[in-house]
Each structure stands twice: as structure tokens, then as C-alpha cells.
Structure 1
Amino acid sequence: MSFKTILTVIGVDNSDNDLQTAADLCGQQGAHLSVLVVAMAPPPPIGEYVSASTIWLEQRDRDRETLETAVEHARQIVSRTGNSFEIDGVYAEAGTADRDIGDRALYADLVLIGSSVLQHADLKRQVINGSLFQAMRPVMLIPGDKRPSLRPNTVLLAWDSRAEAARAAREALEIMTTAAAVHVTLVDPEASSAKSGEEPGADVAAYLIRHSINVTVDRLPSAGRPVASVLQQHAVDISADMIVMGAYGHSRVRELIFGGVTKTMLDDAAIPIFMAR
């Protein structure tokens, strides 16, 4: 996958660092930078609170002014980078932010989720839903203390023989092709023809090798630990610069209630994570 348009979504209290990071990544790729500044509208008053509607309307007016200021500030920051770019703002009504983000993500190859959004639970959820589920676009999580690159030296590809992992591998082919090493990592793989084959990881390794990717297959026991913890520790052990993984192999509701690998990675990203489904 060639990344020619990269979208970054930020809030009105946007981080200049997130904008600069997005601009740097676009500079690496010669890509167009698309920026969407999102302001979340407060829900309308109901029942006994209807009398507060005047206050609610005044708040919306203030929010729109804040959004305009944030858009102009972002434009000033990005215009100094020399990148091709476009910047827009959206005042998202309750429950529609993911659709607004998804509509914009349709015209991007990759959606960035910077540290300021990772720390904003509601906006993070809207960006994930809009990108992965509405637009079916890959996302890249960028923790605050990391300087990401779309040309990492070492990549950990989390593999479980599911369609989501295969989609992530396909979307990240360009990234892995330029990497010095890609570790296909399986946790407690099942060696069976119905699951991972007689030699788990061999099929995907052969697929990647045909793309001239330098592959190592790592089969790891969980030893009772959560899969996400095993992957995170292995990323440290191999000095990975990026994790590539499929998102939501189980339903979002199940992961919300019981937890899962995707949820843990979203909550505890330590290095840049490239996700697709």
C-alpha cells in the first residue's frame, strides 16, 4: 500500500506536536497531509433541563468560535512545513463524529492517531470507529514520546491467521518491504490444517518473502500471560520500531466488556502501532 494521502484527526485543544509529527511523516513519503479538527457538541438539554437551552446555545456558539480558532492555528503550524495540505474543521453532533471522520477518511490511505487523541477517550473511540469501521482505513497509533517512521528498521507483525491480521499485513506491505527485519509473531499457535497449518506462520512468511521482505517467524508461549502482554514484551526484546496487527478479531462489544488484544493495545500503546481490519 502506497501512502499518498495521510489524515490526522485532532481536537480543538490540539497538540502542535501531533501536527508536526504528521507533517514529518508526510515529508518522508512525499504525501499530502489532510487535517481534520473535531469539536464535540454538547448533547441538547432534555426534560427538566430544557430551561437551560439558552445556556446550551451560547455554549455551542463559543464552541464554534473555538473550532475556528483551532483550525486557523493548525493552518499556521502546517503551512510552515512545506507540505501539500488541507485543513478543515467539523462541529460534530452527539453520536455523529465517527461518521464525519469516516467520510473524511475515505479519501486517505492512512489515519494517524496522535498522543493528544490517545489521551482523549471519547475522541479516540470516534476516530477508531470512523476509520476502521466506517471507512475501512488503517490507523497508526503514535504514543507521545515516540518519533514514528513509515520506514521502521524492525517490525513485529502480530499473526493469528485471521482475516484482520491478513488485511493489516497487506496494508503494511510498503512499510515491511523497507524494513531490515520483520518478525511474524504467533502466541500459542495451533498446528492444524484447519487453523494455522502444520507449520504455523509458514504460509504468511512465504507470502511476505515473495514481496522481498526479510522475515523471521517467532512462535511464543503465553505461559498464562495475556496475549497483548506477550506481544508488548516481545516488541521490547527485538527492539521493534512498530507493531503491525489486525484490529477487533472479536466483536467490539465483546472486547468492550471482556477486554481483548485490540483494546489493550489501544489503551497501552508503547510504540507506534499500525492497525487494520
Structure 2
Amino acid sequence: MKQVSKILLPLSSVRNADAALIIGRNFARRFKAHLAVLHVRPDGRDIAPLAGEGLTGGMVEDLMSAAEREGARRTREVQEVFETFAAHAGIAVVPPRIPFPQDEASVSFNVIKGSESEIVPFHARLSDFTLVAHPDSGDEVSSSEALHAVLFDSGRPAVIAPREPMAHMVKRVCIAWNGTAEAASALRGVIAWASTAERVRVLHCGDYQRRGPEAREVVDYLSMHNITADRVEFAPVERDVGKGLLAACKDFEADMLAMGAYSHSRLRQLILGGVTRHVLEHATLPVLMSR
């Protein structure tokens, strides 16, 4: 049975879209899967309930019209980027609502009007994983609406694409382990890549570990899936576990990192930082996250 058959790629804008489309194509080729590119166009009417008191009906209409124009502009830009990509993708381009080819890579493009925070997780729930284009660095990374909609409301893993296009296939996989349920969910999600990778490494750290199974047990679990992995304990860099984790990935020359997301509350991570936030903002490789 194929472990990956459908990959969802939501694109709200053209920011970092090229890198996400390229890695999405590579994933589709690797698993002979379908890449479902989805653009959610905001509905201008949704702005009406948010309009402040004291605005006249005409002012609200103007706001709605401006929102519609902005939505139409973004949709055109995303569609143009997709069409350019599709012309050179080297995989079949198919309509979004037919049975997808089962023995070859394919891609589709769909535009749906509505709320991204609702539509994206609905589609993610029936996808094997969701590929998210990397937001720009800074606060936007930790507040990406599509990413958090998938992580908190889909029950499926998310893969954050790097900012720069990654032309080669994933050969070396790192799995960050701290014993939590979130780490276990990420471990299950990365099996599809680990089972065909050249090398797999389990990374653990005393400052990162929580109550739960230890890294040596993860290596034993992977062996039951016919995956050979080693384990390495990494140290925080400048007292930062996230920085130490990424340094360990670099030492291994990893092409992908899998980790649990937000073992602490999202609010605490946003205020105090945390491993999830650091990795989101600084990783240069694809990162599979799950809750």
C-alpha cells in the first residue's frame, strides 16, 4: 500500500511559492502521488461583521470592494505562478475533481472562496500531509495561518518547505525525539521518507527530553519498519535547544527534519520562544511537524 497518495499545497500568495511547488513536485515524483495545489480566495463579504461602529453602509461597501479587488489580484498572481510551474513541471496536470492517476505523479490547481483557516484544514484532513510554503522570517513565521490551521485543526502532519528551491530528493532524515505525543505523531508521519532514505538519525537532548520513551526505543521501533537508524545526543548551542538541533542536522547533512510541534502551549512559544519557533524561523531544510 502506498504511504503517500495525496499531498495538499495551499498557496495564499506568491511568497516563496516557487520553492514550495518545486519540492512538492519532487515529493509527488518520489511517491507517485498527487499534488493538490489549493488557493483560498478571501470572501470580501466576510469583512462586514468586522467593520467598526460608526461606519456607514457606503463605507462598508467600499471596504468589501477593496477586499474583493485585493483577493482577485492575489488569485491572478498565484494562478500565473502555477501555470508557469505546470508548463515545466514534467508531471501530469489534471483537473482537481476527478480520480487522480494512481501510478504516476500528477498535479492540480483549485481556487475556493472562503476562509483559509477553515477550508485548508478541511482539505488537509483527507491528505496524507500538507506542504506549506515558508513564510518570511520574523513574527509571520510563527503566526502563519495556513500552518497553524493544519497543525491544530487537521489531525495530519505539515511539512514546511524551505525558502530556497530544493532540487534534489530527500536522502538523509533527522528525527528530533523528546518522548512526547507530538514527537510520536511526527515519527509516524516521517516513516514514508525514512523508509526510502539512505541514512536516518534520531536526535535527542537531555534539555529537550520530556516524560516518555527514550531515543534508543525509537531506534528499535524504526527497525520494526526495516529502517536502520542511529541516535546522537546533541547539545544546546548558546543555551538554545532549537539552535543545537539545527546544528546537529547540519552536521549530519540532513535533507529533512521531523519533530513534534508546540509541546508547550502555542502562546508560551510565541512569548518565550521555544524549539518550535526557532526551527520555524531558521531552518533551511524541509521540516515535518505534527501535533
- TM-score over 0.5 (shorter chain): yes
Residue equivalent to 2:103? none
In 2, Cα distance between equivalents of 1:254 and 1:4: 35
Cα distance, 1:70 vs. partner?
Answer: 4.0
- CA drift of 1:68 comes to 4.7
Matched, 1:159 2:177: yes
1:59 counterpart = 2:66 = yes
Question: Separation in 1 of the partners of 2:180 and 2:136?
Answer: 26
2:201 is the alignment partner of 1:183:
yes
Which runs of no fewer than 5 residues in structure 2 stay unpaired?
Answer: 93-105
The partner residue of 2:117 within 98, 110, 121 is: 98
Normalised to the residue count of structure 1, the TM-score between the two structures is: 0.84
Q: Work out whether 1:46 is the aligned partner of 2:52.
A: yes
Partner of 2:223 in structure 1? 209
Provide the C-alpha distance between the structure 2 equivalents of 1:186 and 1:17, rounded to a whole number of angstroms: 29
Corresponding residue for residue 127 of structure 1:
146
TM-score for both structures, normalised by structure 2: 0.81
Equivalent in 239, 242, 255 of residue 228 of structure 1: 242
Could you tell me which residue of structure 2 aligns to residue 26 of structure 1?
A: 28
The structural deviation recorded for 1:205 is: 1.0
Determine if contact 1:146/1:271 at 8 Å carries over to the other structure: no
Q: Distance in 2 between matches of 1:123 and 1:169?
A: 22
Q: Following TM superposition, by how much is the alpha carbon of 1:221 offset from its aligned partner in structure 2, in angstroms?
A: 3.4
**Could you say what the CA RMSD is over the residues aligned between the two structures, in angstroms?**
2.8
| In structure 2, distance between residues paired with 1:227 and 1:10 | 31
1:88 match: 110
- Does 2:240 align with 1:218? no
Report the alpha carbon displacement of residue 148 of structure 1 after superposing the two structures with TM: 6.1
**What's the CA shift for 1:103?**
0.9
The answer to whether the 8 Å contact 2:20/2:133 transfers is yes
Structure 1: 5+ residue stretches without partners: none
The alpha-carbon deviation at position 146 of structure 1 amounts to 4.3
Change beyond 3 A, Cα 1:102–1:148? farther
